[in-house]
Every structure is written in structure tokens, then in C-alpha cells.
Structure 1
Amino acid sequence: MFCKRGFSMHTTVKSFCSSSYLTTIPLPSKRETHMWYITPDELKDASLIDQYLNVLSPSEKENVIRLPGDKLQRSAILARTLVRTTLARYTNSVVSPSLFKFRKNNFGKPEVDWQCDKNWKPPPLHFNLSHTSSLIACGVTVDMPIGIDVEEKQRKTRNNLSSLARRFFTLDEVDYLNTISNPEIQRQEFIKLWTLKEAYVKALGKGFSAAPFNTFTIRFRGTSRLSLQKCGHSNSEESEIIVETLAEPKNVTTNWRFALLELASSHYVAICVENKRIKGVENDPPLLKVWKTVPFIKDELLSETDSVRTISSFV
């Protein structure tokens, strides 16, 4: 289906693959984060995947062709389609998904390269993408950096968990994991910590080499460590997730807000956004909206449903 021999760079985009077939969504407020996700296992229809392929740019199509096997190719098509269709929703049908152009910052983080029109001012959108083989998610904010990471709850590690923790985590985080005697709970806590750290590094936009995991500790403000087993849904200051740099232990970073979710009972999702001080809305509670989508076909708002369980919310 995706092999080079059967692929045409001049395939005509089908009629439904336009922004007019996407639900237009108002821009997120300054205190709002939107997340859209798809589940690849539910999107195996060959004709639909071929339609999505037409949304991609020529270079993205070439990158798809180079990937080995249909599964990896389909995942790449779905990831790029999710980004393009998600961003198009916030342009009031001005920009169709196939017309978006992207660039990378100095550290390789993708950004929208707006093709400005004197008659239209593009929205200051920030986005970030994360995917596993079973779920792909895209986070969107206005005028504030965002990082997102998705991991399967049942993810297995090839190496010993303790050795991985010692390699990538700080001593405080390693000590915390070592206090957990139940191997399954320990594995779950390891994955949660990993997603939070990954989301933070991606929000910084400087890459892993500029912010290695073992140079900062993730913890709750009200304690000396992060215990995510029983934190539940709380907006109290004590449950606020903060970052403590190893180089300067007294330097607690509060410029970032974190949310940790359990999605569809099968994945952990960590979201990190910049904590901008906004005049007039200082005390407004941060909001998170989550949609499950089949691009161009259907959207389902899942916020505050059983499909989205909050482990730790934005504070």
C-alpha cells in the first residue's frame, strides 16, 4: 500500500481532505491546553490512509517511503496527519492541512513556519507531538511553549529497571523508586517519572543533550519527593509538580505547569506548559481539553469522562 512502486507524487487530494471537513475550534485561551489523539489500531482502512498520505508534503512523503514496513509507514502518516489537521482547526479554515510548512529551532524542535498574508494574522500556536505504536497525541497552546509525552502503561524495558533509573534519574528519584517493594508499582512509577521528564525537556525545546534527565528532579512542592501512587486529582499547592535543578538544589523552577493523565486506561500522558503570568487572569484555574479524533471523519470530546483520568492536574 505504501511501497514506492505504488506511490505517486502527483496523486490528487480527495475532496474530503480539506479544512472545510474539519471541525473549527476556537483558539485555546491563555490558560488552556488542548490535546488531540488518535489510536492507530483503529485506523487500518487502506483508502483512508491513502487519503491521509495526500495531506503530507513531498518531503514528508519521501520520509514515509524510506521507512521499513507498512506499520511504521502508517504510523508516520498518521502522526503527520494529526499535526496538520489539528493545527488547521485553529485557522478558521484559512489554512488547509496540506498547506502547512514547518521549520525547526536551533535544537531541532518543530515549529509552524507561517506563510504570512497581509490580510490574515496567523495565530501564535505552539504544538508538540508524541507517539507510541498504539497512540499518537498532539498538544496545542497559544503563545506558550508545550511539551507532551505518551507512554504505554504496560511498556516493558529491556534493561533492569534499577540500572535504567541510576543511568537517567537523579539520586532522589532513584531512592524513591527503591522504596517501592512491589515490582509492578515500581515499574508504573518509573514510567510516570519518565513521561514527566520527557515532557519538560520537550517544552524547553532544547533537546535531551541540553537538559539530561539526571540534571533535574521532578517532585511535589509540598514534599521532598514525587509519589504519584496516591496523589489523585488535586489543585492544591502541595500537589503542584515542580522542577529542582541538580546544579542548584535551592533553585526550584516554577515557570512550568505539569499535568499527568491516564488515557483510555492504557497510556500515561504528561503535559508541560510554560507558566506565564497573565495580567487579569492570574487566579483562573488552568484548563485541559482532550479530544479523540479520526481526522476528517469524527471527533469526540473526552474531557471529564472515564476515558481521561487525572493523576495530577495543572495547578
Structure 2
Amino acid sequence: MNFFSQSDLSTRSKKQLTLASNEIHLWMTKPEELLGNDELLATYSTLLTSTELAKQQRYKFAKDRHDALITRAFIRDLLSYYADLSPQDWQFEKGSKDKPEVINCPLPIRFNISHTKNLIICAVTLEDDIGCDVENTGRSNDVLAIAERYFSPKESTELFALPEAEQRHRFFDYWTLKESYIKAWGLGLAIPLTDFSFNINDTEQHYKNLFTIKQDISLSFAQHRVDEPQIWRSWLIYPSAAIDKKQEHRIALSLRTKADNQKTDYQLRFFDTLPLLGYQEI
């Protein structure tokens, strides 16, 4: 990526982005690329509030403190591409569902952040509640035992009917989708994961040979779960080796549309960035 050099930090002006009502912007940054860059990391610290800094410093391990600092600088910096506010001037509060929200933005921006080993993402849209999740598929957890405990009967049946070689792959499809759904609501595990089921049609689309995308995905709910499947849109995203050398990341998005947006043809745009050093649309 062709980022601005650090010498430009104090003088450059941001290239503003327009966010259309039918767009979802997915931002990505890799915190390992900033290890050892003490000058830039110190600049990131100046963007955070005292409360954010205190929370960041409470992490026990240096890697977790590093990732937490990058995450806060990342969201502050990328939001400044949409509005004439400096990264340090953004103000956040927890909304009615305990989900972080911007309180001084001139646009009705909705966003959600997720992070895993060496990848932080943020999904940004207008008005509609959005949730995102990214997982590292190389983790060593006994994922099938997790599926037996947390997936709906329908999902578990479909998962274990697959050839054994495909089961781990499908697990992460379901897991990231489920996480993105509960994050869109902002309620976390207050929504039991067994109360809703995803049905994934494996029809694929390709984005510039950089991502494989599945979007023919539907939701159904347990009888006692009050929700409307027709208001939801979901996407599974698989970065190619050009973006993710080991192809070990899985990304899911869930969008809860408003009544007048249910027939909208949503478009995805992808952005790679290092906070304060610019971005590249990919």
C-alpha cells in the first residue's frame, strides 16, 4: 500500500469519503504492521481520551495493549474520512443497548468493530444497525464441541452432515454470522445463539479477485424469538491470498434494515489503512 509518510502527519489534509445510503464500507488494518513504530504509537495515544487510555493500559499483556491502542486510533481516524472532525474530536457513548455510538457526528453513521489475531475490521454504514465479526480460522479450539453447545439444531444437523474435511470451514461460517447478528442488535450473548439459524446458499461472487463473497443467506428464528427474517441482510467474506497470505480469516456482516430499505441493493466497498497514514480502497 502507498501510505503517507510520517513526516506528512501534521500537514496533510484528509481525502474525504462519501458514504452512499446503499453502501457498506468495510475497513481493515493489521496491528502487527505497526509494532516497533514508537513515534506513531505515541501519536495514537494523544488521540484517546483519558478514560480510553486508562482502559487500554489495564490490559495485562503488551500485545493486547498494542491492539487496543490501534483499535481506538483506527476507529477515530477512519471516521474522520466521513466528516470534518479531527480524530481526537470524536465523542462516543454507549447506546441504549450498550453498543458504542458517536454522539457528535453530522451524519447518521452506524459502525461496528471486530478484531482477531493480526486483523481489526470496522463496518460502516448509514442509519441501519450493522454488526461485523472476524475470526482467525487457524485457532486451536475444539470448534465442533462449541457447535454442539451453541448452534441451533438446524445448524448442527447441517454441519455434521458435511464431510469431516468441510466441517471446520462451515463452523466459522456459522460462528461469524452469529456473532455479527448479535452485535448488530448490540445485546451480545443476551440473545442465545440457539434461538436463530442461518441458511447459507454457497453461491459465490468475486470482488476484484481479492474477496469471495456469499450473500444468499437467510435467517430463521425459534418460535419464542421475536424478530423478522425479512429485515436482515448478511454476507460472508473470504479474503484471498493477496489480502490474507494464509487465508486464515473469515468475516461476516449482518445488517438490520429499516422498512424503507428492505429492497435496497447494498454494495460493499473495501478499505485498507494504517491509522493516520492514509488508506487505499481495494
TM category (shorter chain) comes to: 0.7 to 0.9
- One-letter amino acid of the counterpart of residue 178, structure 1: F
User: Residue 25 of structure 2 contacts residue 268 of structure 2 at CA under 8 Å; is this kept in 1?
Assistant: yes
For residues 23 and 156 of structure 1, the distance between their equivalents in structure 2, rounded to whole angstroms, comes to 41
Matched, 1:141 2:156: no
Is this contact kept in 2: 1:145–1:273, CA < 8 A?
yes
Write the deviation string for residues 77-106 of structure 1: whole angstroms up to 9, x where unpaired: 011111111111111xx2111111111123
- How far residue 161 of structure 1 moved from its aligned partner, in angstroms, is 3.1
- Taking the TM superposition and a 5 Å limit, the aligned residue runs for 1:19-168 are 21-26=13-18, 28-44=19-35, 45-91=37-83, 94-114=84-104, 122-157=106-141, 160-168=142-150
User: Comparing 283-292 with 248-257, which one deviates more in the overlay?
Assistant: 248-257
TM-score (norm 2): 0.85
Matched, 1:231 2:203: yes
For 1:17 and 1:36, locate their aligned partners in 2 and report how far apart those are by CA, in whole Å.
23
The answer on whether the counterparts of 1:108 and 1:207 sit within 8 Å (CA) in structure 2 is no
Q: What amino acid maps onto 2:271 in structure 1?
A: W
Decide whether aligned partners of structure 1 residues 153 and 22 sit closer, same or farther in structure 2, where only a CA change above 3 A counts: farther
Q: How far apart, CA to CA, are the structure 2 residues paired with 1:250 and 1:51?
A: 46
CA pair 297-260 structure 1, distance change in 2 beyond 3 A = same
Letter in 2 for 1:170: S
Determine the structure 2 residue equivalent to 1:8.
Answer: none
Match of 1:16 among 9, 13, 18: 9
Amino acid at match of 2:221: T
Q: 1:180 aligns with which of 134, 138, 162?
A: 162
Structure 1: how far apart are the matches of 2:137 and 2:220? 26
Once the two structures are TM-superposed, the CA of residue 201 in structure 1 deviates from its matched residue by 0.8
Structure-2 change in CA distance of 1:69 and 1:251 (3 Å): closer
Q: Which protein has the larger Cα radius of gyration, Structure 1 or Structure 2?
A: 1
Shift of residue 140, structure 1, vs aligned partner: 0.6
Conservation of the 8 A alpha-carbon contact between 1:177 and 1:186:
yes
Q: Which runs of 5+ in 2 are unaligned?
A: 1-6, 207-213
Show CA shifts across 1:264-284 (max 9, x none).
Answer: 2331110111233448xx765
Q: Show the counterpart of 1:11.
A: none
Q: How many residue pairs end up in the alignment?
A: 262
Identity of aligned residues (%): 28
**CA distance in 2 between partners of 1:239 and 1:35 (Å):** 15
Q: 1:155 to 1:90 in 2, by over 3 A?
A: same
Q: Contact conserved, 2:215 with 2:235, CA < 8 A, in 1?
A: no
Residue 269 of structure 1 is matched in structure 2 by: 251
3-state DSSP class of the match of 1:54? helix
Counterpart secondary structure, 1:261: strand
For residues 78 and 133 of structure 1, what CA distance do their matches in structure 2 show? 13
Query: Does 1 or 2 have the higher relative contact order (CA < 8 Å, sep 6+)?
Result: 2
5 Å-filtered alignment, 1:296-311, equals 296-302=276-282
Once the two structures are superposed, what CA deviation does each residue of 1:112-142 show, in whole Å capped at 9, x if it has no partner? 1217xxxxxx111101000012100011111
Give the alignment's TM-score, normalised by structure 1: 0.77
Corresponding residue for 1:259? 235
